A = this chain, B = another copy of it.
């Protein structure tokens, strides 16, 4: 089963990369740093391997607080003068600062947790060995859980700091790092980390916050996302216990003739949430999306023009978009529409064959994607009121995580610095109004911080949330950067931000 990343690059737009990998460092002043990056390659790769072996998975309560302590040490080793583990009511976060005595301060958002995995599903290498193997068409990749999501690119950013320091150069910006351990469960406690007084005070000095990422698809394409949809992850649970009808424990299926079924109760409730085709939200008083602006429509049109629709459909194993829409309209729908999606259904017997039971409990796992200016709390409140009004008030709405959508202006210096770095490297990036996936950028872009936020980083990886996740270490593909190229992209970006 393919489990793509919450912040998947699978469906973003792109531009043609024209440079060769060796031509990246255009600025001559950075040549000594580039030499240092090469010199420290093995050390940096080893650091990433050690990090992958230190597993933290919030859903399994695995690797805490060790993951946070490891993260704090990584920051100190990279030159942060202070790095503190910050307790929350969930898993701890890390707050670190690097004061370079410069005018500009930049925020970094890291996650040190990774998605759950089943070692049995990994075919190319075990998930925790961080083995380096050959991958056709790419070169040498490191295979491991967290390799691309998000330890690989984050380690490359840290390697950039090591290299700048190692080359005897002055750090071009001050840095404020917040790292959380609950990204993969929907960042339920990120506010306790980011809005803690001393953290908030440090972030208020920042020109913006970015998360190290991989912007290059296997064909070297580069896109700048200007935000992300919000998300609510929740379970709807129908049970005999809460309903007061149907069995409180699973009973024999023959009893259906005289006992109500919590499973049918759930089906009837679910049916009311969306239109007959399953595609439009029918929840009463649900918050409405802001229509796409002319500027956003133009961005989408540009992307649609260069996108290979047939290839995209093949990658997504899909014959038709919703309503048989043409490409551009499908993309507009992707960008503009909120969704109510079924992630999972669970009731009774889920194994092979049948089991003649009347289950006492049925659950639907939903994710609701939100677009500007919808609010998570409004969506949840509307859902609850909708269910209650229709006789489904007993069905539990268990919200497990999520957050509001996030948006940053194309004109923000944080974004324009990305454009400058990419253009110097011969890349003319396209823009994408927002990633249809989600990340908790709202905590930076929303009240009270109202900062610019984004992702940046050359390099490539794939398989986030899936088996055989990898991050490219040594590229044999002239269109995409390997590890050292990714590290240099961060060096360039930091210098650009410092200008």
**Which A residues fall within an 8 A CB radius of B?**
1-6, 8, 10-11, 59, 116, 185-186, 229, 231, 233-235, 240, 244-261, 263-265, 267-268, 270-271, 274, 276-279, 316-322, 325, 330-331, 333-335, 337-360, 362, 365, 367, 369, 400-401, 435-438, 465
Contacting residues, chain B, for A229 (C-beta < 8 A): 254
Contacting residues, chain B, for A339 (C-beta < 8 A): 253-254, 256-257
Nearest CB of B to A421, in Å: 27
Contacting residues, chain B, for A331 (C-beta < 8 A): 258
Complex CA distance for A351 and B250, rounded to whole angstroms:
19
Complex CA distance for A416 and B263, rounded to whole angstroms:
41
B341/A253 in contact, CB under 8 A: yes
Nearest CB of B to A27, in Å: 36
B354/A258 in contact, CB under 8 A: no
Contacting residues, chain B, for A261 (C-beta < 8 A): 278-279, 341-342
Contacting residues, chain B, for A278 (C-beta < 8 A): 260-261, 263-265, 267-268
A316/B259 in contact, CB under 8 A: yes
B244/A353 in contact, CB under 8 A: no
Contacting residues, chain B, for A359 (C-beta < 8 A): 342-344
A343/B322 in contact, CB under 8 A: no
Number of copies: 2
A357/B3 in contact, CB under 8 A: yes
Q: State whether A343 and B356 are in contact (beta carbons under 8 Å apart), knowing that A260-B278, A333-B257 are contacts in the complex.
A: yes
B277/A260 in contact, CB under 8 A: yes
B349/A348 in contact, CB under 8 A: no
B354/A318 in contact, CB under 8 A: no
Nearest CB of B to A188, in Å: 11
Contacts beyond the supplied A116-B353, A344-B347, A344-B355: 7 A-B pairs with Cβ under 8 Å: A2-B251, A247-B316, A247-B317, A257-B333, A258-B331, A260-B320, A354-B365
A251/B435 in contact, CB under 8 A: no
Q: State whether A334 and B257 are in contact (beta carbons under 8 Å apart), knowing that A318-B248, A346-B350 are contacts in the complex.
A: yes
Q: State whether A259 and B322 are in contact (beta carbons under 8 Å apart), knowing that A251-B4, A268-B271, A369-B253 are contacts in the complex.
A: yes
Complex CA distance for A498 and B335, rounded to whole angstroms:
80
